[in-house]
Amino acid sequence: MDIQLSGPLSNAAAQGRTVAVRLLLEAGAHTDFTKPNGERKGSPLNCAARNATDVLLLKSLLDFGADVDASGTDGKTALIHAARTNNASFAMLLLEYGADINAISADGSTPLTTAITYNSHNVLRLILDRWHEYSICPRLKGPHLLQIAALYADFETLRILAATDHFRMKYDKQYTIGDFGNRLRQRPDLTDDLAKAFDDLLGIINHVPSQEESSESLLESGILAWFSSRVNSDLEGLGREPNSGCSSDSSFLDALENLP
């Protein structure tokens, strides 16, 4: 099977043919392949993440051992593609199978910056909600988030960013140095509400909490109430470390039904 470099499995995955993908996998099709010269080529999982809509197609590939972080020459993983298309069900599944939330593509984009760039609100909330499981601060990994937000974020994206506690912690005193506000004001789609939302985000990031201040105290004061209300409680049972085994099929499907 899969003698061609972009064989029948990739073609079926790209066309969203779930049944055909399953049949090919059961017949022994390979989920990942590399060109003879070592060049990386988009895997069937990558093809599905870019073009398909059925989460069960992705799950079949992952169940048969597809590399969840496989990428082509552009370095974009399936999770980055899910962030681009705002496919929260794909993103949740990929994270459950251990997708690298800190993956960086050849152009420097990450799942988080991609979600901001494309204003993928559902995936953005999902990524920010799960960041406590990982050791790398989202604003210190990859491109500068304030620059990305100034160039691309819409009003709702700025509200989501402003509501998360990750931007209320003291990581880097130099983080907000830069003419980000001016970059925002050069956008043709600028509105008063957009400018105010960005200024509010800058104000939150510039706030330096005392050592005694914690995320719990922020919640008690109501600062994070809006963000907390948006967190999908059905995802709580799915939280786990990135390298642990995937959760049961029924747990995933139950949570999937409750996604926005």
124 and 10 within one domain: yes
* 3-class SS string, 92-157: HHHHHCCCCCCCCCCCCCCHHHHHHHCCCHHHHHHHHHHHHHCCCCHHHCCCCHHHHHHHHCCHHH
For residues 169 and 138, the answer to whether their CB atoms sit within 8 Å is no
Q: Does the residue 239 lie in any domain?
A: no
The set of residues, in sequence order, having a beta carbon less than 8 Å from that of 52 and lying 6+ positions away, is 13, 14, 15, 16, 18, 58
Q: Does the residue 100 lie in any domain?
A: yes
pLDDT score, position 240: 46
pLDDT digits (tens, 9 = 90+) for 109-156: 999 999 999 999 999 999 998 876 655 555 555 568 889 999 999 999
pLDDT at residue 50 greater than cutoff 70: yes
pLDDT digits (tens, 9 = 90+) for 156-176: 999 999 998 776 766 555 555
For residues 131 and 169, the answer to whether their CB atoms sit within 8 Å is no
pLDDT at residue 183 greater than cutoff 50: yes
In the chain, the number of structural domains is: 2
109 and 1 within one domain: yes
CATH code at position 112 = 1.25.40.20
- Which residue, of 103, 135, 167, is where some domain finishes? 135
pLDDT score, position 249: 58
For residues 117 and 83, the answer to whether their CB atoms sit within 8 Å is no
